[in-house]
C-alpha cells in the first residue's frame, strides 16, 4: 500500500495527543490543534489571550480554532471570558484544573520532544525541517487558489 503524507501527519497528530494525555482521563485526549492551544495558553497564562491570537499562533482559520476551543471547553480544560471593553471579544483561559496540570503537561512535552528525537542526527533533522517547510509552503499556495 502506498504511503500518503496526509495520513502520516494525521497518525502523528493522534499519537501526540495520546502521548500527552497518557494516564489521564481519556475524554481529555487532545488533537494537535488542541495541544497547540493548551501549550500556548500555558506559556501565556498571565496574559489576555483572544481567539485571534490562537489563529495566528496555529495558522488555522477561525472556524477550526472555534471548534477546538469548543471541544476544550466541553472537556473542562479552558473557559471563555467576555472582555469588559469589547463584548465581541472573548478571552480564552485555562481552567484551574489545567493550571494545576501545568507542570505535568510541560514535563510530558519535554519528554515527548526528547523521545521523538532519539536516533535522529542533526543532518536528518535539518532535512526533515526543510521538507516540512516545503509542505507548509505548498499548502499555503494551494490555499491561495
pLDDT tens for each residue of 6-51: 888 888 888 877 777 665 554 566 777 888 898 899 889 889 999 9
When pLDDT is averaged across residues 49-56 and rounded to a whole number, the result is: 91
Beta carbons of 49 and 79 less than 8 angstroms apart: no
Asked if 39 contacts 112 with a C-beta cutoff of 8 angstroms, the reply is no
So what's the pLDDT on residue 22? 65
The strand pairing partners of 93, in sequence order, are 79
0.75 cut: is pTM over it?
A: no
**% of residues, the chain, pLDDT over 70:** 94
DSSP one-letter code for 26: G
- Indicate the burial class of 42 (C-beta count within 10 angstroms; 0-12, 13-18, 19 or more): middle
For position 41, which CATH number holds? Answer: 1.10.10.10
pLDDT at residue number 31:
75
Q: What is the CA 87 to chain-centroid distance, rounded?
A: 26
What is the C-alpha separation between 7 and 25, in angstroms, rounded?
Answer: 26
Nearest Cα residue to 93 out of 126, 144, 62, 54? 54
Vertex 37: Cα angle to 43 and 45 (nearest 5): 30
Half-sphere exposure of 67 toward its Cβ, with a 13 Å CA cutoff? 9
Domain count, the chain: 1
Q: Which one has a higher pLDDT value, 114 or 21?
A: 114
Task: Kindly state the cell numbers that stand for 134.
Answer: 516545503
Range of the domain at 40: 5-144
Q: What is the pLDDT of residue 24?
A: 58
Amino acid at each position: 500500500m502506498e504511503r500518503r503524507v496526509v495520513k502520516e501527519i494525521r497518525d502523528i497528530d493522534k499519537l501526540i495527543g495520546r502521548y500527552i494525555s497518557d494516564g489521564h482521563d481519556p475524554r481529555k485526549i487532545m488533537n494537535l490543534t488542541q495541544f497547540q492551544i493548551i501549550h500556548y495558553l500555558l506559556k501565556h497564562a498571565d496574559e489576555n489571550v483572544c481567539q485571534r491570537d490562537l489563529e495566528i499562533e496555529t495558522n488555522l482559520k477561525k472556524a477550526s480554532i472555534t471548534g477546538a476551543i469548543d471541544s476544550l471547553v466541553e472537556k473542562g480544560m479552558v473557559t471563555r471570558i467576555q472582555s469588559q471593553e469589547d463584548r465581541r471579544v472573548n478571552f480564552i483561559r485555562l481552567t484551574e484544573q489545567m493550571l494545576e496540570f501545568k507542570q505535568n503537561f510541560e514535563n510530558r512535552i519535554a519528554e515527548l520532544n526528547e523521545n521523538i528525537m532519539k536516533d535522529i542526527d542533526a543532518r536528518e533533522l535539518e532535512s526533515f525541517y526543510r521538507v516540512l517547510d516545503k509542505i507548509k509552503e505548498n499548502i499555503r499556495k494551494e490555499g491561495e487558489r
